[in-house]
Each structure stands twice: as structure tokens, then as C-alpha cells.
Amino acid sequence: MNNPHTNKSLYVCFTVYINMTKKIIAAFSASFLLLSAFAVKAQTPPAALIVGDRMPAFSLTAQDGKKFNSADYTGKDILVIYFYPKDESMVCTKEACAFRDSFNEFAKAGAKVIGINSGTVASHKEFSDHYKLPFILLSDPGNKVYHLFGVKDKMFISGRETFIIDRRGKVAFTYESMMQGKKHADDALTFVKQHGG
């Protein structure tokens, strides 16, 4: 014969179990949603700067060991800032040499050329000395400035993109191409000559 007290106890235990299970599932679901949202946010690439955007302020070390502060040049010079993947690689070398060969023309137009990647100061110094590069190369550890500008990786390689910043501190021109290194310098020079700051 069934004991009503035993049945009632079993019912209470079962109800408590069901309620606890519901709470655990709800907590797990909430945690999963939070983690998913965080992961999506963490993986969302920064928006690329476009023409008209203000250049983000930054400070990096040049190949001569001196600090470069963008604020010191904003409003005074046209800045031709090019991001490139790696010192001494084939396309990057062609690109750097194209900027070198046009350096005097950039200078006459009032533009400063600046190359940036995550390479070390020592690597930039060797690269600069090797090819007699007359412009600034900045070391960007961890690609912090690279991400500020919204440059995108290409197949696990740092992207190649050029920005021209006018004398108001705003983006006036952008060009992106992984394989056309020389064209970065050519197109940037054409723009600077035609539009100035």
C-alpha cells in the first residue's frame, strides 16, 4: 500500500529537482549568450578609416629610436602613412623603394612619408639603412595603430594600405592593394600633387 507521506515527499523532491534544473539551464543559457556576444565583439574588426574621418592620435618609435607623436604634425604637414606587412619582403621592398625614389617630390608637395608595421625598431633601422630610405619607419608592436586605422589582415598577413592625411588632420585618400606595392607610392604622389593639403 502506498504511503501518502512518502508520495508527497517524492513529489516535493521531484519539484525541487525540476526547479533547480530549470535554474541551472537558465544560468547556463545566459552565460552562453554573454560569452557569445563577447566573442562576436572581440572578433569584430575595427571599421576602416574612410575619406573624411579624423586621423586617430598615436605615438610610436621610429627607426632612429625617437618618439613620433602624430599630434606634432597634425595641422602642419600632409602625412602619407603607409602600412606594410614586413621589412625586406619582396613587395614591401618595392613599395619602400618607390616611396624613396619619389621622396623629394613628396617633400616639395609638403608631404611627410611614414611607413608603419609591427617590426622592431632594430628591424626598421636595418631595412632603412639597407635601402637608404629617407623617410620615417615606425614600429607598431601588437599592431595597435594598424587596428586604429582599421587596416585588415589578408590571409593571416598584415594588410597593405596607404592613407593621406590632410592638414586638417582628416583622411583625404586611401589605397589598398596587397600586391601592387609601387602603385601605393605612385597613386599617393599623384593625389598629393593634384590636391595638396
Around Cβ 144, how many Cβ atoms within 10 Å?
Answer: 11
78-83/161-165 β-pairing: antiparallel
* Residue whose entry in the numeric block shows the C-alpha cell 594588410: 159
Number of H helices, E strands in the chain: 6, 7
Q: Which residues contact 134 (CB under 8 A, 6 or more apart)?
A: 100, 103
Is the C-alpha dihedral spanning 91, 155, 50, 58 positive or negative?
A: negative
- Point out the residues that are catalytic: 92
Residue given cell 575619406 in the structure block: 51
The CA-to-CA distance between both ends of the chain, in Å, stands at 97
> What DSSP line would sit under 76-103, residue for residue?
TSEEEEEE-S-TT-HHHHHHHHHHHHTH
